[in-house]
A and B are shown apart, each in its own frame.
Chain A
């Protein structure tokens, strides 16, 4: 098992804001992803950025857009220790 250094919530939020063209700090822990019009392509873009910047492999097929940004961060934290 290879651990990676996962992003903080703020770092994850910054990636999401960047990919969706949102202003800084628009993404808060309770923000529901679908409310900021995140779509499947955006999720893949976020996933690719996470992999490039933090070495975290997020399975986008497992991400439901009905979840909150906090939930997404939890998924990222899980993914950061789950990859062999």
Chain B
């Protein structure tokens, strides 16, 4: 902690869980949600799933390949272990089959959480000027285009009032080492605006939560992430806990709820205010 950092009185406390405890009158009562990206208990998506269930939603998770048994193990730790459906967002067959698989489990969908990102190792960590297009293309496809692909695959199940939420890392700035993943997040932000444009006439909302740095699996794969951690420990005007994914997950839950019915194409920053200030 540096001298510039103003300690928050509750900086050591786990985020209050009280709003999640209103079983029976939950924020997401009756919602049917598809949630991607549940890999560990530190995943934002894991806490979205947990909060969603506690708030009355029925959910399915997705995973694929080596991650599938891991996601299944995490599913067992949720309040009600949900089904885990196969989905590689770069696999046309998986995307084509997805709506049918979800329909079998939930009938239809009221919301989707996109928590998917990947960049090859040489697209991160400072080799920005040398990264070949093939690796950039992979990062863009998995991390940005997949948002459109996922929504399109689920479109037959989404009705008026449905809400789609993606997880972002503020792409208005260039972050050290984040490199082509940062470019991919900028693309994700633009994809979100276009999805909002083209799905507006169906009354489907599309928004992003731009979370501050969380020490998740994704963050650990960024070379030089210690520098990012230092930024997040010292600069946000409200103290930011890089080990607490709950604030970002709670924001996702609000966006999935009926409480922001006229909000679409938006980026909700859940970052302790870092994006707004220079300290």
Counted as pairs of residues, one from A and one from B, with CB atoms less than 8 Å apart, the total is: 29
A81 beta carbon closer than 8 Å to chain B: no
- Say which residue of B70, B217, B219, B220 sits within 8 Å of A48 (CB atoms): B70
In the complex, the answer to whether A40 meets B70 with C-beta atoms within 8 Å is no
Residues of A participating in the B interface, judged by any CB pair closer than 8 Å: 40-41, 44-45, 48, 59-62
Q: Write the chain A residue with the least CB distance to B67.
A: A41
Q: Which of B28-52 contact A (CB under 8 A)?
A: 39-40, 42
- A45 contacts across to B, CB distance below 8 A: 66, 69-70
B193 beta carbon closer than 8 Å to chain A: no
In the complex, the answer to whether A60 meets B40 with C-beta atoms within 8 Å is yes
- Say which residue of B69, B70, B215 sits within 8 Å of A61 (CB atoms): B215
- B216 contacts across to A, CB distance below 8 A: 61
In the complex, the answer to whether A48 meets B73 with C-beta atoms within 8 Å is yes
Report the Cα distance A48→B77, complex, angstroms.
12
- B69 contacts across to A, CB distance below 8 A: 45
In the complex, the answer to whether A40 meets B217 with C-beta atoms within 8 Å is yes
- A62 contacts across to B, CB distance below 8 A: 215
- B217 contacts across to A, CB distance below 8 A: 40-41, 44, 60-61
In the complex, the answer to whether A41 meets B66 with C-beta atoms within 8 Å is yes
Report the Cα distance A62→B220, complex, angstroms.
9
Report the Cα distance A72→B216, complex, angstroms.
19
What's the nearest-Cβ distance from chain B to residue A19, in Å? Answer: 10
In the complex, the answer to whether B40 meets A61 with C-beta atoms within 8 Å is yes
B138 beta carbon closer than 8 Å to chain A: no
